[in-house]
Structure 1
Amino acid sequence: MTATAQQFRTYVERNLDILGADPTRTAVVHHDRRVTAGELRDLVHRMARALRARGVERGQVVTLLSGNLPETIAARYAANLIGCAVNHLYNKLSADVQATIMRDVETRALIADPAYAGRAAELAELTGVQDVLLLGPGSEGTDLLELAAGQPAEPLSGLARPEDICMIRHTGGTTGHPKAICTAFERLPGFQDDVDEILEPEGKADDGMRQLVCTTLAHAAGLLADVTLRTDGGTVVLLDDFDAAEALAAIERERITHMFLLPPLLYQLMDHPDVDSTDTSSLRNVTYGGCQSSPARLASAVRRFGHVLTQFYGQNEAGGISVLSPEDHDPENPARLRTAGKAMNGVEIAIRDESGRDLPTGEHGEVCVRSEHIMTGYWKQPELTAEVLRDGWLHTGDIGFLDDEGYLTIVDRIKDMIVVVGGHVYTTELEDLLNTHPEVLQSAVFGVPDANRMEQVYAAVVRAPGSELDEKELREFVGNERGAMYEPAHVSFIDALPLTDAGKPDKKFLRREAEAAAATR
Structure 2
Amino acid sequence: MHDGAEPPFPYPLLEALRGSPGSPAFEHGDRLISRGELLDLIRRLAAALQDAGLGPGRGVALRTGVSPEAFAVHMAAHALGCRVLCVRPGYSPRLLAHVLGLDIDAVVVDETTMRPELLSAAGPATVLSLGPVAGALDLLAHPGGDGFPAVTARPDDVALLTFTSGSTGEPKGCALTYRGLGTHWSWQPGLWSPLATAFAESFERFLLFGTLSSTVILDYLLLCLLGGGTAVIPEEGAGPLFPHAIERHRITGSVMAAPRLAQMLDLLRDRPAGLSGLRALVIGGSPLSPHRLTEAMRRLGPVVYNGYGTTESGLISMLTPGDIARFPGRAPASVGRPHSLVEISVRDEEGRPVATGRTGEIFVRTPYQMTGYWGRPEESREALLDGWLRTRDLGHLDETGLLYLVGRARDIILVNAAVVYAGPIERVLAGHPGVAEAYVAGAPDERTGEAVHAFIVPAAGRSPEPDALRELVRADLGEESVPRTVTTVPAVPVAASGKPDKSALLQRYGPAVL
TM over 0.5: yes
Could you say what secondary structure the match of 2:212 adopts?
Answer: coil
> 1:272 matched to which residue of 2?
267
What is the Cα deviation at residue 113 of structure 1?
2.0
Name which of 12, 37, 52 aligns with 1:54. 52
Distance 1:459 1:321, change over 3 A: closer
- Mapped to 2, the partners of 1:510 and 1:138 lie a distance apart of 55
- Mapped to 2, the partners of 1:208 and 1:117 lie a distance apart of 32
* Unaligned ranges ≥5, structure 2: 415-420, 454-478, 491-508, 510-514
**Does 2:163 correspond to 1:167?**
no
- Mapped to 2, the partners of 1:296 and 1:415 lie a distance apart of 26
Distance 1:126 1:204, change over 3 A: closer
**Does 2:111 correspond to 1:114?**
yes
**Does 2:450 correspond to 1:453?**
no
**Does 2:448 correspond to 1:498?**
yes
Distance 1:53 1:215, change over 3 A: same
Distance 1:153 1:258, change over 3 A: farther
Could you say what secondary structure the match of 1:107 adopts?
Answer: coil
Distance 1:164 1:244, change over 3 A: farther
| CA contact 2:288–2:306 (8 Å) conserved in 1 | no
| CA contact 2:201–2:227 (8 Å) conserved in 1 | yes
> 2:390 matched to which residue of 1?
395
| CA contact 2:252–2:277 (8 Å) conserved in 1 | yes
What is the Cα deviation at residue 230 of structure 1?
1.1
What is the Cα deviation at residue 238 of structure 1?
1.8
> 1:365 matched to which residue of 2?
360
What is the Cα deviation at residue 266 of structure 1?
1.0
- Mapped to 2, the partners of 1:308 and 1:377 lie a distance apart of 35
| CA contact 1:299–1:329 (8 Å) conserved in 2 | no
Alignment of 1:286-305 (within 5 A): 286-305=281-300
Name which of 215, 218, 221 aligns with 1:222. 218
Alignment of 1:113-512 (within 5 A): 113-118=110-115, 121-146=116-141, 148=142, 150-152=143-145, 154-173=147-166, 178-193=171-186, 200=195, 205-206=200-201, 209-219=204-214, 220-232=216-228, 234-239=229-234, 245-273=240-268, 276-277=271-272, 279-330=274-325, 333-416=328-411, 452-453=436-437, 455=439, 460=443, 496=446, 498-499=448-449, 505=450, 507=452, 512=482
Distance 1:359 1:40, change over 3 A: same
| CA contact 1:195–1:224 (8 Å) conserved in 2 | no
What is the Cα deviation at residue 244 of structure 1?
7.9
Distance 1:222 1:203, change over 3 A: closer
> 1:100 matched to which residue of 2?
98
Distance 1:246 1:62, change over 3 A: same
Return the letter of the residue paired with 2:164.
T
- Mapped to 1, the partners of 2:238 and 2:264 lie a distance apart of 8
Distance 1:246 1:98, change over 3 A: same
* Unaligned ranges ≥5, structure 1: 418-426, 429-444, 462-493, 500-504
Name which of 489, 513, 517 aligns with 2:483. 513
Which is helix-richer, 1 or 2?
Answer: 1
Q: 1:111-131 deviations in whole A, cap 9, x for unaligned?
A: 01211212xx42231341321
| CA contact 2:309–2:315 (8 Å) conserved in 1 | yes
Q: 1:444-463 deviations in whole A, cap 9, x for unaligned?
A: x989969543647x5736xx
- Mapped to 2, the partners of 1:510 and 1:100 lie a distance apart of 38
- Mapped to 1, the partners of 2:93 and 2:377 lie a distance apart of 27
What is the Cα deviation at residue 294 of structure 1?
1.7
> 1:33 matched to which residue of 2?
31
Return the letter of the residue paired with 2:343.
E
Q: 1:153-199 deviations in whole A, cap 9, x for unaligned?
A: 52334521221111101102479864210001111243333898799
| CA contact 2:199–2:280 (8 Å) conserved in 1 | no
Return the letter of the residue paired with 2:486.
A
Return the letter of the residue paired with 2:25.
A
Greater mean alpha carbon deviation, residues 198-207 or residues 24-33: 198-207
Could you say what secondary structure the match of 1:312 adopts?
Answer: strand
Distance 1:48 1:91, change over 3 A: same
Distance 1:402 1:208, change over 3 A: closer
| Identity among equivalent pairs (%) | 31
Could you say what secondary structure the match of 1:192 adopts?
Answer: coil
What is the Cα deviation at residue 67 of structure 1?
1.4
Distance 1:412 1:68, change over 3 A: same
Equivalent residues, number: 450
> 2:499 matched to which residue of 1?
none
> 1:480 matched to which residue of 2?
none
Q: 1:447-504 deviations in whole A, cap 9, x for unaligned?
A: 9969543647x5736xxxxxxxxxxxxxxxxxxxxxxxxxxxxxxxx6x2523xxxxx
Distance 1:126 1:241, change over 3 A: same
Return the letter of the residue paired with 1:310.
Y
- Mapped to 2, the partners of 1:293 and 1:515 lie a distance apart of 23
- Mapped to 1, the partners of 2:178 and 2:260 lie a distance apart of 31
Query: What TM-score results when the alignment is normalised by the length of structure 2?
Result: 0.79
Return the letter of the residue paired with 1:154.
G
Distance 1:174 1:306, change over 3 A: closer
Greater mean alpha carbon deviation, residues 10-19 or residues 234-243: 234-243
Query: What TM-score results when the alignment is normalised by the length of structure 1?
Result: 0.78
Return the letter of the residue paired with 2:340.
N
| CA contact 2:200–2:226 (8 Å) conserved in 1 | no
Q: 1:29-74 deviations in whole A, cap 9, x for unaligned?
A: 1111111111111111111111111112210111111111111101
| CA contact 2:442–2:452 (8 Å) conserved in 1 | no
What is the Cα deviation at residue 237 of structure 1?
1.0
| CA contact 2:281–2:303 (8 Å) conserved in 1 | yes
Q: 1:271-322 deviations in whole A, cap 9, x for unaligned?
A: 1158844531211111112111121121111111111111111112112211
Return the letter of the residue paired with 1:40.
L
